Amino acid sequence: MKRRQFIALLGGAAAWPLAARAQQAERMRRIGVVNVIAETDSEALPRMAAFEMALRELGWVKERDLRIDYYWDNSDPAHTLAAAKEVIKTKPDLVVTVSTPATQALRDEAGGTIPIVFVQVLDPVGTGLVASLARPGGNITGFSNFEFSMSGKWLELLKGIAPHITSVALLFNPATAPVLARSICDHSKLLRHRSQSAPSPLRFGTSRTLRRCYRNWPAIRMLALSSLRTSSPPAIVI
């Protein structure tokens, strides 16, 4: 081996421990994931696996580059608030929230200091989580699972199934989807349906809510349902 090559090899070998120490000194990142479903839910494991696989594809490996703290069963408002407080105490680098109430709770607790990425939020603009879909602004961004033009398709499908219907009831949560009722009413006018908004707070389960709908408004034959698995009582809009 020539002298010049030997010196270069020796210099590289001397640098290896320094590089290793630099990698070890890199701080492990921390992510908090606030879920609405329970850990025993059949969807829990597939969701975790998909999330961690996507991170690995981006070069972030759990327990090597980052730590992930999961918080489950936060459909109850008290649980959601407690989870939000617990997440903030861990000082995460990022929080992933599933549902509107979880995102709202983390927003209020974080105070704009921690990046939040939401999923399964029906109306991020109407609930005030982001300024607009094109330019969210602030420390919050994410993915909405609803496009309001779909509400017209719902009515078209109902009309196709039952051409003679004249009234449609919408079961929804005004705290998490404030624009949904207006969107339905706007599309009902295009389809020449009679539309009237009359919120009626209900504080019991979905099955009892449906029974009360049919008892109080027997002329209504079709219902369009949106998610009620949230922290606020739903409302009936007719």
Asked if pLDDT for residue 82 goes beyond 60, the answer is yes
d(CA 83, CA 181) in angstroms, rounded, equals: 30
The more confident residue out of 198 and 54 is 54
Give the tens place of pLDDT for each residue, 169-184: 666 677 776 666 667 6
According to the model, what pLDDT value does residue 44 have? Answer: 92
According to the model, what pLDDT value does residue 47 have? Answer: 93
According to the model, what pLDDT value does residue 217 have? Answer: 56
The more confident residue out of 99 and 234 is 99
Q: What is the CA radius of gyration of the chain?
A: 25
Question: Residue 22 in 3-state DSSP?
Answer: helix
What CATH number does the domain located at 25-144 have? 3.40.50.2300
DSSP structure string for 81-146: HHHHHHHHHT--SEEEEESHHHHHHHHHHHTT-S-EEEEEES-TTTTTSSS-SS---TTEEEEES-
Asked if pLDDT for residue 165 goes beyond 60, the answer is yes
The more confident residue out of 56 and 200 is 56
C-beta separation of 176 from 122 below 8 A: yes
| Intra-chain end-to-end CA distance of the chain, in Å | 87
Q: Is 129 exposed, middle or buried (0-12, 13-18, 19+ CB in 10 A)?
A: buried
What are the extents of the domains in the chain? 25-144, 150-237
Asked if pLDDT for residue 139 goes beyond 60, the answer is yes
Q: Is 33 exposed, middle or buried (0-12, 13-18, 19+ CB in 10 A)?
A: buried
Asked if pLDDT for residue 13 goes beyond 80, the answer is no
According to the model, what pLDDT value does residue 40 have? Answer: 92
Range 212-227 average pLDDT: 53
DSSP E strand stretches across 150-219? 168-172
